[in-house]
Structure 1
Amino acid sequence: MSSKNKLLNLDFVRIGRRCYTFSIILTIIGVISLAVFGLNYSVDFKAGSNVDISFTKSITSEQVEPILEELGIQEGTKITPGADRMSIRFEEVLDEDQDHQLKSEILKLDSEASLEINTVDPEMAKELAINAMWAVLLSSLGIIVYVSIRFEWRFAVAAIVALLHDAFLVVTVFSIFRLEVDLTFIIAVLTIIGYSINDTIVIFDRIRENLRFAKQKTREDLADIVNKSVSQTIMRSLYTALTVFIAALFLLLLGGASIKMFSLAMVIGLLFGAYSSIFIASPLWFVLKSKQKNKPAKAS
C-alpha cells in the first residue's frame, strides 16, 4: 500500500484522541510560559521609542554604544544591527533633547545617515493591546455565529476550539522563545485564523454531505463518516497549507526585518492549522455529536 493510501485510510477519530493529549500538554506549557514570562512586546504595545537608522557606511554596534552612554539611557536598550541598517529600541520615550542629541551623534558617524524615530506613549500602547485582543475575540465570535447558522452548534464549537488552539499555540511559541510581538504578529494571527477556519469548513461541509446518505445507527457508523470525510478532503487541505507555507517560509528566509515576525508566525500557524483541522476539529465534532442521547446522528 502506498504512503498516500495509508494516509487516506487512517482512523482519524482514534488518532484525534491522542492528539487531544498532545494539544492539552502544549496548552498547559503555554499557560505556564505566559504566566511566568509573558510576551516580549515590541514598541507597538509598550511605551518607548524605536529608532531605525539607514547608514551609507559600515557602522557597528560598538560605535553606537558610547552615544547611548552619553544619552544616559543605555540600560534596557536593544540594538539590532543589519547590513546597512540598525534598529535601536529604547524602553523609555526619548524627549526632544535626546532626539536631537542622538541625531547629531549619529550624523557624526555618517553624515548621510537617515533616522526615523517612532514613539509610543503608555496610553497608546495600552489602547493598541486592547484593540488587538478585541480583533481576535470579535473575529472568533463572528465565526461562531456563521458556522452555527451554516451548519450547527457542534460544528461551531469544534471550529472555534481548533482556531483558538492554533492562535494560542503560536502565542505560546513566541512566549517560550521570547520572540518579539508587534502589530504584524496580530495580523499573522488573524490570517492564521482565516486559513484554519477555511480548512475546517471544507471538512465539515464534506461531513454534512456524507451524513445525508450514510447510515448512522451507532458510534462506529458516525466515526466511519468522519474518517471518510477527512480522507476525501485531506489532500486538498495539505496542498493548500503547503503552498502558503512555502511562500511564508521564503518570506521568512529572504524578506526584510519588518516582516520577519509576521512570516515566522505564519509558518508556525500554518503547521498548527493543518494539524488542528484534521486531528482536532473533526474528532471533536464526533465526540459532541455522539453524545446526543436517545436519537441517531443526522444531518443538520
Structure 2
Amino acid sequence: MSKLGNLGARLHRGEVGYDFVGHRKIWYGVSILITITAIVGLAVRGLNMGIDFQGGAVFTTPKTSVSVSQAETYAEEAAGHEAVVQKLGTGGLRIQVAGLDTSKSDEIKAALAKDMKIDTENINADLVGPSWGEQIANKAWEGLAIFMVLVVIYLAIAFEWRMAVAALVALIHDITITTGIYALVGFEVTPGTVIGLLTILGYSLYDTVVVFDSLKEQTKDLTKQTRWTYSEVANRSINGTLVRSINTTVVALLPVAGLLFIGGGFLGAGTLNDISLSLFVGLAAGAYSSIFIATPLVADLKEREPAMRALAKRVRAKRAQAADDGHTGAGSEGGYSEDSADSEDAAPAVVGPRPRSGTGATSSGPRTQPSSRNRGRGRPSGKRR
C-alpha cells in the first residue's frame, strides 16, 4: 500500500506518468469497437423489457414442489407467451408473463393453479396494462433526456462548452455500452435498471468533473508560458487524479460485484440483477470514459483554438532551439538547460543582503580588503627607530 501511495504522490507531482492524451487514437479505436459491438447487440437481440414497460402480469405462488422449468412450461402453455420464472426465498415462484392481455389473467391463473395443484385463491396476480407500461417507458426516456440537458448546461457554465461536449460524449458512450451488454446478456430491463443507469451516469460525471477541475486549475494563464502545451497539461491532470479514480472505482465495484455475482448468481436472487448489472458495467465504463475519452477529447477540441496552436508552435520552437544548442539535459557551465530556458516563466529569484560573518554562511569568490592609506609610509624597513 505504501508503494501505491508513493506512486500516487509521484503521479500528482508529475514525476512519472503515462501519455494518455498522446495515445488517444488507440483509446478512441477501442471505444468505437466496443460501442459498435453494443449497437449490434441492441439491433440483433434487442432489450428484454419488463412488464413495467410493455405490460403483462406477474403471478406469485406459495411454497410449491414444482420446479422452475416445469412452471415455465405451464405458464407458456397457458398464456401463449414467453414466461420468466424465479424462485423466491419463501419457496414459492414468481411467474412473469410480458405482453399479456390482462383480460385473460383469470384464465391463466386458473390454468396455473390446476397444473401446479395449488388453490386459485393462493395465487396472487399483479397486472400492468400496455398503456401504463408505454407511459412508464416514455417517462424514463424523458427523465434521461432532461438529465443530459441539465448536465451539459451545468458543465458549460462551471467550466466551458468544450468540456460539456466531452462529458456528453462520455455519458452517451457509457449508456450505449451498458444497454448493449444488457441486450447481449438478456437481463430484464425494469425500473431498477433505469435507476441504475441514472446512478452510474452521476458517478461517471463525478470522475470526469474531478479531472476537469484539475485541468481548469492548471491551465490558468497557460498562454503566458512556453514550457507546456495544453495536451501535456491535460495529460498531467489525468495522471494526477489517476490513483484517486482507480481507488474510488474499485471501492464502489466491490459491493456491486457482491450483489451481482453472489446475490444474483449464487443465491439466486434474480431481482438483484436488474440494478446490479447496470451499476457494475456503468461504474467500470464511467471510470474508463473519464480517463480515456473525456479529457483527451477536450484536449483535441482545445488544440484547435488559434491561441493554443500558437502556444504549441512556441513550445516546439523553444525545444528545437534547445536541441540545437545541445543542452537539453542538465545544463553545463555557461550553457542552456530546460530549467533555465523557462526562467522567464518561473518566479524571479529572491535577492537579499549578504549574510554577516558568524552566521555560518559563506560567500563565493575572493574578498578584497581595502588597503590602509598611510600603511608603511615613511618606514622602509617597517621597524621602529
Task: Tell me the distance in 2 between the aligned counterparts of 1:290 and 1:148.
Answer: 18
SS at match of 2:58: strand
* Residue 221 of structure 2 corresponds to residue 208 of structure 1: no
Q: 2:78 aligns with which of 51, 72, 82?
A: 72
Q: Which amino acid aligns with 2:192?
A: T
Question: How far apart are 1:107 and its partner, in Å?
Answer: 7.7
Question: How far apart are 1:87 and its partner, in Å?
Answer: 2.2
Q: 1:232 aligns with which of 215, 240, 257?
A: 240
Q: Deviations over 1:175-220 (max 9, x none)?
A: 1222211111111110010000011001000000001164577796
SS at match of 2:54: coil
Does the CA contact (< 8 Å) of 1:93 and 1:120 recur in 2?
A: no
Q: 2:93 aligns with which of 86, 91, 99?
A: 86
Identity of aligned residues (%): 30
Does the CA contact (< 8 Å) of 1:48 and 1:90 recur in 2?
A: yes
Q: 2:23 aligns with which of 4, 15, 33?
A: 15
Task: Tell me the distance in 2 between the aligned counterparts of 1:171 and 1:179.
Answer: 10
CA, structure 1 residues 230+62, in 2 after alignment: closer, same or farther (shift >3 Å)?
A: closer
More helix by share: 1
Q: Which amino acid aligns with 2:37?
A: I
SS at match of 2:134: helix
Q: Deviations over 1:137-158 (max 9, x none)?
A: 1101000000000010001001
TM-score, scaled to structure 2: 0.68
Question: How far apart are 1:17 and its partner, in Å?
Answer: 2.0
SS at match of 1:12: coil
What runs of 5+ residues in structure 2 fail to find an aligned partner?
264-268, 312-385
Q: Deviations over 1:119-171 (max 9, x none)?
A: 22111111111111111111010000000000100010011111111111000
Question: How far apart are 1:12 and its partner, in Å?
Answer: 1.1
Please identify, of 194-203 and 176-185, the stretch whose mean Cα deviation from structure 2 is larger: 176-185
How many residues are matched?
293
Does the CA contact (< 8 Å) of 1:53 and 1:113 recur in 2?
A: no
SS at match of 1:167: helix
Alignment-derived partner of residue 194 in structure 1? 202
Q: 2:253 aligns with which of 242, 245, 255?
A: 245
Backbone CA RMSD of aligned residues: 2.8
Alignment-derived partner of residue 56 in structure 2? 48
Alignment-derived partner of residue 171 in structure 1? 179
Structure with more relative contact order (C-alpha pairs < 8 Å, separation 6 or more): 1
Alignment-derived partner of residue 276 in structure 2? 263
Task: Tell me the distance in 1 between the aligned counterparts of 2:72 and 2:95.
Answer: 10
Q: Deviations over 1:34-65 (max 9, x none)?
A: 2232211111111211223341x433136546
Please identify, of 83-92 and 240-249, the stretch whose mean Cα deviation from structure 2 is larger: 83-92
Task: Tell me the distance in 2 between the aligned counterparts of 1:185 and 1:66.
Answer: 27
Does the CA contact (< 8 Å) of 2:211 and 2:237 recur in 1?
A: yes
What runs of 5+ residues in structure 1 fail to find an aligned partner?
none
Task: Tell me the distance in 2 between the aligned counterparts of 1:13 and 1:113.
Answer: 65
Q: 1:59 aligns with which of 33, 47, 66?
A: 66
Does the CA contact (< 8 Å) of 1:196 and 1:277 recur in 2?
A: yes
Alignment-derived partner of residue 292 in structure 1? 305
CA, structure 1 residues 65+181, in 2 after alignment: closer, same or farther (shift >3 Å)?
A: closer
Q: Which amino acid aligns with 2:92?
A: R
Task: Tell me the distance in 1 between the aligned counterparts of 2:147 and 2:274.
Answer: 21
